[in-house]
């Protein structure tokens, strides 16, 4: 089944980033009208209504008993500008998520269009067939309505509904967590690096190494190196790590991180769709290739929330894999010994002979 949000958001993003509009004859040769004038239009008749209500109350010619309805409407009108300001501010903040570099394209594409319209981006003007209205509703709430070619039906957002969402720590559009920052911080927290490997900003120092506690040792207490072929008949020792021990150590900390992430399940879905599902790195995602995201294995905001237990477990598993493969692996691969003599380049053939001799000696086979 086609993922409409994914394909439309991808198109919109590519369109906005491609500069293609600069080569549109129709766009360049005409003026574009972005005068949506939301507030002006919303309050155009407000003055008259306010005046009528005020006169009715002051002359005691109200239609309701004790002017209760008129007084309520007056109060609503007096408070309306603040509501408008708060609503627009909140709406713009929510819509701005669609401009984030790691925005999950599985979000409702109509918000991407609404953001483009609100920001007066080329291609979303009145001239292009778009329009937006701010309406003051009888119950004191307000609504904004977006219409235009990209909206099969008008997109309506109510101020009270938006406020309610925001108050309950829910977003209109899911923001993708900064996985790279999370993972780098997590590296310092999982307990495999010494405390002095972390700088004052809480970041790993360059050259940080996993502590010796996790290095594989021989029975006699010496380090059990792995020999790697570096070409031209030469070899080097590299450290071997006890990956089971490392995994056992880091797992509780990773699980705690996931629990924190799950405090906003919509953000967790965004992280899943953009990074975790396919294990794509931040660099890969930056390429904005459609197949670098979850694609067909995406989770849907509309259908998969609240997240079922099996999905939470899957998320935790894949999150750990992501951490181990994209962040921790570099510290367990091709790590040279700290002992200078052991770190030297050597002749591979001689090393193999020496190893064979040692084996014969250790096993009393000479």
List the structure tokens of 157: 């957002």
- Report phi then psi at 192, rounded to 5: -105, -10
255 touching another protein, by CB under 8 A:
yes
For another protein, the binding residue among 21, 27, 81, 180 (CB under 8 A) is: 81
- Of 310, 179, 192, nearest to 247 (Cα)? 192
For another protein, the binding residue among 6, 113, 132, 294 (CB under 8 A) is: 132
Q: CA 123 to CA 290: how far, in whole Å? A: 23
Cβ neighbours of residue 271 closer than 8 Å, sequence gap 6 or more: 176, 177, 179, 261
CB 201 within 8 A of CB 297: no
Measured from the CB atom, the residue of 3 and 41 that comes closer to another protein is 41
**Residues in region 31-70 near another protein by CB under 8 A:** 34-41, 43-44, 46-48, 50-51
Q: Which stretch binds another protein (CB under 8 A): 102-110, 255-263, 318-326, 342-350?
A: 255-263
For another protein, the binding residue among 3, 72, 127, 264 (CB under 8 A) is: 264
101 touching another protein, by CB under 8 A:
no
324-338 burial code (b ≥16 CB/10 A, e <16): bebbbeebbeebbbe
- Of 117, 93, 111, nearest to 34 (Cα)? 117
Measured from the CB atom, the residue of 317 and 355 that comes closer to another protein is 317
What is the DSSP code string of 346-357? EEHHHHHHHHHH
List the structure tokens of 112: 């991407």
CB 327 within 8 A of CB 180: no
Least separation, in Å, of the C-beta of 242 and another protein?
15
Q: Which stretch binds another protein (CB under 8 A): 2-10, 187-195, 340-348, 349-357?
A: 187-195
263 touching another protein, by CB under 8 A:
yes
261 touching another protein, by CB under 8 A:
yes
222 touching another protein, by CB under 8 A:
no
257 touching another protein, by CB under 8 A:
yes
List the structure tokens of 201: 């900003």
List the structure tokens of 58: 């002051």
For another protein, the binding residue among 227, 262, 305, 343 (CB under 8 A) is: 262
Report in angstroms the alpha-carbon separations of 236 from 128, 129, 201, 230, 272.
65, 67, 34, 7, 39
State which H helix or E strand residue 316 sits in: helix 309-323
Least separation, in Å, of the C-beta of 151 and another protein?
16
Measured from the CB atom, the residue of 18 and 37 that comes closer to another protein is 37
Measured from the CB atom, the residue of 158 and 264 that comes closer to another protein is 264
Least separation, in Å, of the C-beta of 120 and another protein?
4
For another protein, the binding residue among 15, 27, 133, 253 (CB under 8 A) is: 253
Residue 317's Cα: distance from chain center in Å?
19
Least separation, in Å, of the C-beta of 280 and another protein?
22
For another protein, the binding residue among 24, 30, 89, 333 (CB under 8 A) is: 89
Q: CA 268 to CA 174: how far, in whole Å? A: 9
Least separation, in Å, of the C-beta of 235 and another protein?
35
169 touching another protein, by CB under 8 A:
yes
Q: CA 72 to CA 53: how far, in whole Å? A: 10
Q: Site for another protein (CB under 8 A): how many residues?
A: 52
The rounded radius of gyration (Å) of the Cα atoms in the chain is 31
111 touching another protein, by CB under 8 A:
no
Instruction: Please give the residue ranges that form the binding site for another protein (CB under 8 A).
Output: 34-41, 43-44, 46-48, 50-51, 77-78, 80-82, 84-86, 88-90, 92-93, 96, 117-120, 132, 166, 169, 171, 189, 191, 195, 252-253, 255-257, 259-264, 267
């Amino acid at each position: 089944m086609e993922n409409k949000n994914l394909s439309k958001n991808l198109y919109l993003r590519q369109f906005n980033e491609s500069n293609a509009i600069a080569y549109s004859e129709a766009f360049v040769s005409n003026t574009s009208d972005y005068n949506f004038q939301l507030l002006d239009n919303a309050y155009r008749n407000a003055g008259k209504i306010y005046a009528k209500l005020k006169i009715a109350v002051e002359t005691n010619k109200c239609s309701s008993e004790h002017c209760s309805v008129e007084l309520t409407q007056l109060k609503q009108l007096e408070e309306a500008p603040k509501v408008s300001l708060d609503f627009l501010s909140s709406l713009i903040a929510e819509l701005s998520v669609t401009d984030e570099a790691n925005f999950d394209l599985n979000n409702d594409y109509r918000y991407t269009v609404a953001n483009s319209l609100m920001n007066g981006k080329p291609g979303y003007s009145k001239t292009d067939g778009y329009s937006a209205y701010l309406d003051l509703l009888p119950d004191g709430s307000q609504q904004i309505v977006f219409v235009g070619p990209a909206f099969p039906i008008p997109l309506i957002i109510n101020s009270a509904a938006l406020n309610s969402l925001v108050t309950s720590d829910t977003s209109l559009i899911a923001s993708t967590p900064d996985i790279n920052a999370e993972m780098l911080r997590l590296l310092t927290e999982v307990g495999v690096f010494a405390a002095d490997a972390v700088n004052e900003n809480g970041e790993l120092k360059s050259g940080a190494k996993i502590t010796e506690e996790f290095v594989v040792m021989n029975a006699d207490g010496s380090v059990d190196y792995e020999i790697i072929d570096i070409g031209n008949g030469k070899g080097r020792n590299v450290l071997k790590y006890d990956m089971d021990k490392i995994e056992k150590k880091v797992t509780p900390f990773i699980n705690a991180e996931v629990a924190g992430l799950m405090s906003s399940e919509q953000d967790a879905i965004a992280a899943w769709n953009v990074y975790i599902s396919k294990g794509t790195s931040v660099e890969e995602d930056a390429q904005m290739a459609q197949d670098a995201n979850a694609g067909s294995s995406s989770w849907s905001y509309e259908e998969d929330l609240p997240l079922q237990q099996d999905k939470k477990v899957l998320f935790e598993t894949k999150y750990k894999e992501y951490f181990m493969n994209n962040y921790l692996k570099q510290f367990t691969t091709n790590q040279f010994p700290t002992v200078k003599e052991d770190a030297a380049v050597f002749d591979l053939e001689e090393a193999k002979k020496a190893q064979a001799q040692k084996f014969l000696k250790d096993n009393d086979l000479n």
